[in-house]
Structure 1
Amino acid sequence: MNTAENKRSIMVGVFVLVAIVIFVIGILTLGGQQKRFIESITVNTVFGDVEGLKVGNNVWFSGVKIGTVKQISLHGESQVQVVMSIEESARKFIRENSKARISSESLIGNKIIEIFGGTPAAGPVEDGDVLASEANLNTDDIMKTLQENNKNLATITGNFSEISNRLVRGEGTVGTLLTDSTLAKDFKSMVASLESTSQNAVRASRDLSRFTSKLGTQGSLANELLTDTTVFNKLEQSMAQLEEATQSATKMAQNLEQASGRFNNENNAVGVLLNDQTFANQLQRTMQNLETSSQKFDENMEALQSNILFRGFFRKREKEEQKAAEEAREQQEQQQQEQQPVKEDNQ
């Protein structure tokens, strides 16, 4: 074998060795990505729709990749069973009552299975366990909802366009407010009136505040009425007395009204005196006659006193009256003398 053939054989051997090394490195790399050389367990779950999930898609827990989808198969009548390969190191974090749902790495990214939930009271998941699944929003449903929202948005935009056109044309109340200058002035006047009213209300509230603050001034009548029970009781008594006086005055007025009514009644003496003119004339004549009779009686008595037969009687009576008057005067003087020493002793 010559030197050229030896060099060619060496070069071929080197290339073959490099290719083998690259192949081994590729296998190790792919196996590391697929967790082929890591100890794992299998966990099952059943979905109604896998939404395009494929074998080899990732399984996440709390945002961390913990396994891959190992197998997808139909189950039951219309369900799909998914077998997941979970790392042994992540098993202790997944609980038996945890749930699985299908999600996406991004808005349009690959499908993934997300494991979530679980309580510490439940034990860790075991090899071959079945996790409960939770239905997720379908992308198609989301797109349908977005389309409906777009239609609604288009309708709303059209309505706003129509409303803005009507406002520009001055139609409706708001359009009139925007285009009618007279109405705008009236509106400004109304706003000015409201502002004036609000200012008056503010002033009134200030005055009321000052008035209420004065009510708490010590020594004022209002403060005594509000705080001093004695003044309040006296005022209450005065009001009660005033009420009694009012009732008495009312009763008196009623009695006077009844009495005045009786004065107009001719069935009693006062009514006859006030209302019967004939009786009044008779009474007047009777009084005149009595006056005339009394004058004549006086004249007769004077005539009797001057008569010799009755003169002794009247003189005797006059002496007895003088004697009685002198005795009464002496008795009064005696009483005054008896009372004078008592006054001096007291002094």
Structure 2
Amino acid sequence: MSTADNKRSIIVGIFVFLGIVILVTAIFTLAGQQKRFISSISLNAVFDDVGGLKAGNNVWFSGVKVGTVKRIQLFDEAQVLVTINVEESAQKYIRKNAVARISSESFIGNKTIVIEGGTLEAPPVEDGDRILAVNPLDTDDLMETLQRNNENLVEITGDLKQLTSRLVQGQGTIGKLLTDSTMANDFEAMVNNLQQTSRNAVGASRELTQFTSKLNTSGGLADNLLTDTTVYSQLRRSMAQLEEATTSAAALADNLRETSTKLNNENNAVGVLLSDEEFARNLKGTLQNLETSTEKFDENMEALQSNILFRGFFRKRAKEEAKQLEELQEQQQIQPQQIQQPQEQ
């Protein structure tokens, strides 16, 4: 064999060796990513629709990759049985009441299974257990919903554009507020009036609160009227008496009205005195004559007292009156003495 052939054989051997090394490295790398050489347990979950999930997709728990999808097969009626491999190191953290949900690594990325939930009261899962599955969102339904939302958004945008154009043109109340200074001033005045009214209402409410607090003050008139039955009874009696007095006053007013009617009538003596002028003049003359006669009678009596024939009679009468007066004075002096003697005893 020539030297050239030897060199060629050595080079080929080196390339073959390097290829084998690269192949082995790739195998171990892929096996490490897929965790083929790590001890694991199998868990099952039944979905109505896996939404494009494939064997070999990752399984996540609390944001940590804990296994891969082992097998996907049809199960029962239009359902899918998914078998997943989970590392034994994560087995103690996954509980029997955990939930498996199909998710995506990104909006258009690979599908994954996310295990979530579970309580400490439930025991850890075991090899071959079936956990509860939550069906994924239907992408078609999601896209249809997004399409409807986009159409609604376009309509809303058109309406908003039309509304803003009307506002700029000064149409409508709000448009006038934005463009008409007079209306804006009126609106500002109205707002100021509303603010003043609100302040007045607050003040009135505060005063009403103070008034009600005074009414609730113990010992006050209002509190006694509301709580003291004695005061209420007295007030009730007073109101009854006031009502009776009002009735009496009404009856008195009726009597006075009737009396005044009779006084204005000329068919009775009092009516004649009040309304007949001629009778009044005659009565006045009569009274004047009586007064003159009385004065003359007094003069005649004085003349009789001075007369010798009647002087003794009047003196005797004067003595009797003086004697009666002395006896009366003595009786008045004796009575106080009799009252003091029993008090001293």
Q: What is the TM-score with the length of structure 2 in the denominator?
A: 0.69
Q: Where do residues 234-313 of structure 1 align in structure 2 (5 Å cutoff)?
A: 251=248, 255=252, 257-265=254-262, 272-276=268-272, 281=279, 284=283, 291=290, 298=297
Q: Which runs of 5+ in 2 are unaligned?
A: 224-230, 335-345
Per-residue Cα deviation, 1:29-72 (whole angstroms, up to 9, x for no partner): 11111111111111111111111111110001011111111111
1:117-144 Cα offsets, whole Å, 9 max, x none, are 1111111111111111112222222211
Query: Could you tell me which residue of structure 2 aligns to residue 175 of structure 1?
Result: 175
Trace 1:198-209 onto structure 2 (pairs within 5 A).
198=195
Equivalents in 2 of 1:160, 1:140: separation in Å?
30
Q: Superposition pairs for residues 1-347 of structure 1, below 5 Å?
A: 1=1, 3-179=3-179, 181=180, 184-192=181-189, 194-195=191-192, 198=195, 251=248, 255=252, 257-265=254-262, 272-276=268-272, 281=279, 284=283, 291=290, 298=297, 314-328=310-324
The whole-number CA distance in structure 2 between the counterparts of 1:76 and 1:208 is: 73
CA contact (8 A) 1:45 1:81 kept: yes
Q: SS state of the match for residue 106, structure 2?
A: coil
How far apart, in 1, do the equivalents of 2:102 and 2:146 lie? 21
Q: 1:327 to 1:105 in 2, by over 3 A?
A: same
Q: Which residue of 2 aligns with 1:342?
A: none
Q: How far has the Cα of 1:203 moved from its partner? A: 9.6
CA distance in 1 between partners of 2:72 and 2:194 (Å): 78
Structure 1's 315 and 225: CA in aligned 2 closer, same or farther, altered over 3 A?
A: farther
Letter in 1 for 2:315: K
Distance 1:226 1:43, change over 3 A: closer
How far has the Cα of 1:94 moved from its partner? 0.8
1:27, CA displacement in angstroms?
A: 1.5
Once the two structures are TM-superposed, the CA of residue 207 in structure 1 deviates from its matched residue by 12
- One-letter code of the match for 1:319? R
For the 8 Å contact 1:263–1:271, the answer to whether it is kept is no
What SS does the aligned partner of 1:133 have? strand
Percent identity, please: 42
Q: Give secondary structure in 2 for the equivalent of 1:130.
A: coil
Give CA-to-partner distance per residue, 1:257-294, whole Å, 9 cap, x none: 5135224338x9x982222478x949949967994997
Whether the 8 Å contact between 2:176 and 2:183 is mirrored in structure 1 is no
**Deviation of the 1:170 alpha carbon:** 3.6
C-alpha distance after superposition, 1:127-169 (max 9, x if no partner): 1111111122222222111111110110011111222333344
SS in 2 for 1:261: helix
Report how far residue 329 of structure 1 moved.
Answer: 6.2
What CA distance in whole angstroms lies between the structure 2 residues aligned with 1:173 and 1:200? 24
Residues 1:255 and 1:113: Cα distance change in structure 2 (over 3 Å): same
* Structure 1 residues 126 and 197, CA gap change in structure 2 (3 angstroms): closer
Relative to 1, partners in 2 of residues 1:230 and 1:324: Cα closer, same or farther, differing over 3 Å? farther
Give the whole-Å Cα distance in 1 for the aligned partners of 2:220 and 2:193.
45
Distance 2:163 2:292 in 1: 118
CA contact (8 A) 1:94 1:125 kept: yes
**Structure 1 gap segments, 5+ residues each:** 216-223, 339-347
Contact 1:101 1:113 in 2 (8 A): yes
2:268 alignment partner, SS class: helix
Aligned residue type for 1:134: V
Cα pair distance change 1:229/1:281, threshold 3 Å: same
Counterparts of 1:48 and 1:76, CA distance in 2: 10
Confirm or deny: 8 A CA contact 1:263 1:274 kept in the other structure.
Answer: no
Q: Secondary structure of 2:161's partner?
A: helix
1:122 counterpart SS class: coil
1:188 alignment partner AA: N
User: Deviations along 1:222-266, whole A, 9 cap, x unmatched?
Assistant: xx9998969999xx9xxx9x9989986985575255135224338
Aligned residues: 311
